[in-house]
A and B are shown apart, each in its own frame.
Chain A
Amino acid sequence: NAGVMQNPRHLVRRRGQEARLRCSPMKGHSHVYWYRQLPEEGLKFMVYLQKENIIDESGMPKERFSAEFPKEGPSILRIQQVVRGDSAAYFCASSPPGTEGNIQYFGAGTRLSVL
Chain B
Amino acid sequence: AQRVTQPEKLLSVFKGAPVELKCNYSYSGSPELFWYVQYSRQRLQLLLRHISRESIKGFTADLNKGETSFHLKKPFAQEEDSAMYYCALSPHGSSNTGKLIFGQGTTLQVKP
Q: What A residues does B99 contact at CB under 8 A?
A: 33, 45, 48, 56, 58-59
Q: Which DSSP category, helix, strand, loop or mixed, fits chain B's interface? A: loop
Given contacts A41-B104, A42-B103, A44-B102, contact A106 B44 (CB under 8 A): yes
A91 touches B104 (CB 8 A): no
Nearest-neighbor residue (CB-CB) of A43 within chain B: B102
| Docked-complex contact B100 and A31, CB < 8 angstroms | no
B28 interface contact, C-beta 8 A = no
A42, A56, A58, A103, most chain B CB atoms within 10 A: A42
Q: Would B104 and A45 count as touching, CB distance under 8 A?
A: no
**In the assembled complex, which residues on chain B have CB atoms less than 8 Å from the CB atom of A42?**
4, 6, 86, 102-105
User: By the criterion CB–CB under 8 Å, are A101 and B102 in contact?
Assistant: no
Instruction: Tell me how far the C-beta of A6 lies from the nearest C-beta in chain B, rounded to whole angstroms.
Output: 9
Judging by beta carbons under 8 Å apart, are B102 and A109 in contact? Answer: no
CB contact between A106 and one of B45, B94, B97, B105 (< 8 Å): that residue: B45
B-contacting residues of A (Cβ < 8 Å)?
3-4, 31, 33, 35, 40-45, 48, 55-56, 58-59, 91, 93, 95, 99, 101-109
